[in-house]
Amino acid sequence: MRTIRLLQSSKKTITLALVLSSWLLASARCAEAPANSPTAEWTVMIFLNADNNLEADALKNFSDIAKIGSTDKVNIVVQFDRNGRYAVTNPQWTQTLRLLVKKGMTPTPATAVEDIGEADMGDGAVLKAFVDWAKAKYPARHYFLEIWDHGQGWRVMMRSAIDEFRTAEQGQPERSATFRSVSVDDTNNGNQLYNRKIQDALSGYHLDLIGFDACLMSMIETAYALRNVAHVMVGSEEEEPGEGWKYDDWLNRLEANPSMDGAALGSLLVDSYRKRYGDNDATTLSAIDLSKAEDVASAVSVLGDQLGNELNKNSNGVVQARTKCSVYAPNPFGDGKDYFQHIDLGYFCDQLRGLDPEVKDAASKVRSKVKECVLANYASKQRMGSFGSTGLAIYFPKSGAIYKKDPYQENGYEKDNQRFPVEFVQRFHWADFLHEYFAKVPN
């Protein structure tokens, strides 16, 4: 309206208006961001699912987060769902809260930005709604989504604590009637976040970083699924201690240098984890460049083809290479059995050096691609040696019988599976090789 009035006054004011208009237009062109562009460098979004037996650990982690709190450069927002059966607070609450974490705050309905009632944290739509809400309400130049809970690799079927399992007569772990599994939301019939749910809900978001403060998540199956969700992924090949990440350390370091990018923050998280656990626990953590996940998957597919050919000539060589690799989370329930069938991809490739040149060459290329993909990697001494722990794991049961008895595979490695299908399985040849291997090595 002011411009119209100026134009109606005189030639002088018209000239002035044109000058002002030109200056404003030039200014707008020079500015890469609009006037209401975010001033924060980072919004850290923590999807904190404690609607299960990790409730007490979640409250402790939140307390560590609140030791730091948000600043004008770093927003820390948490969607916190509780169960109420494993911890008591005053006031006691069990619904789902959204909180902008401020220094020294306690999570309560009164301190929450929003109380959204009971939300199903095992629903991909709920995860998407949280990310959309956080980005709209707390815009920033960079976004980090962290999913906090139990974890289990390519299925993302979050594993419950050891004492929540029973051993059935046939020797298989059996979930108790009162506890199920991950982003186990106990209140919502044990619904859980499979990788496919995350992939479908957030595909194309291109977050700077996605991280899992959870067990057994740094796998090629996971990295490939999330390649169009974020630029960098942080996760562990091994189980994580209940204490998880040291939030007051890495958040403090982020706020001291908020201009870092996703790769730098991912590497910082790995360093913080190393600093917390050192060689005192059987621990690992990796930062993965998801833009390289396609290259790794393609190389693994070629390796699968070569290994399939090798099985017809020298199946013993392939079996010996696999036998040299230890599985992560060994003997997790204290009954002398291994239930999780993940091995380190790089270490397995190293064991193939004595086989035919075609296999050796394909393995070398996978090893090279893994090295390019892993931005930062930590492993305690307990997870070196036959574990390898070079940064990315892969699913590889030692025999067909073990595969058939795997209580967690849920047909994820069957190509005709339509229930939350694993894209890596569908698109590449590793699953084909595994089934050829199981036929050669049934027991």
What is the reported pLDDT for 53? 84
d(CA 193, CA 130): 14
Whole-structure pTM value: 0.86
Per-10-residue mean pLDDT for the chain, 443 residues long? 30 34 39 56 96 90 98 98 94 97 98 96 95 98 92 42 36 30 55 87 95 93 96 95 94 98 98 96 97 98 98 94 97 87 97 95 98 98 98 97 88 91 96 97 96
What secondary structure, in 3-state letters, does 169-215 show? Answer: CCCCEEECCCCCCCCCEHHHCCECCCHHHHHHHHCCCCEEEEEEECC
Helix-helix angle 430-440:293-323, to 10 degrees: 10
d(CA 136, CA 114): 14
What is the reported pLDDT for 21? 42
What is the reported pLDDT for 408? 78
Size (the chain), residues:
443
d(CA 18, CA 9): 13
Q: 178-198, pLDDT tens digit by residue?
A: 222 235 556 776 667 889 999
What is the reported pLDDT for 33? 37
What is the reported pLDDT for 52? 83
- CA 158 centroid distance within chain: 12
Separation in Å, CA 320 to CA 193, 268, 304, 306, 353: 35, 37, 16, 16, 12
What is the reported pLDDT for 177? 25
d(CA 431, CA 209): 28
What is the reported pLDDT for 92? 97
What is the reported pLDDT for 161? 36
Tokens for 260, please give them: 């870092």
The per-residue b/e assignment along 301-330, b for 16 or more CB within 10 angstroms, e otherwise, is: bbbbbbbbebbeeebebbbebbeebbbbbe
Average confidence score pLDDT of the chain: 85
What is the reported pLDDT for 190? 60
DSSP string, 272-320: HHHHHHTTSSS-EEEEEEGGGHHHHHHHHHHHHHHHHHHHHHHHHHHHH
| Full set of structural domains in the chain with CATH | 1-31 (no CATH), 40-290 (3.40.50.11970), 295-375+394-440 (no CATH)
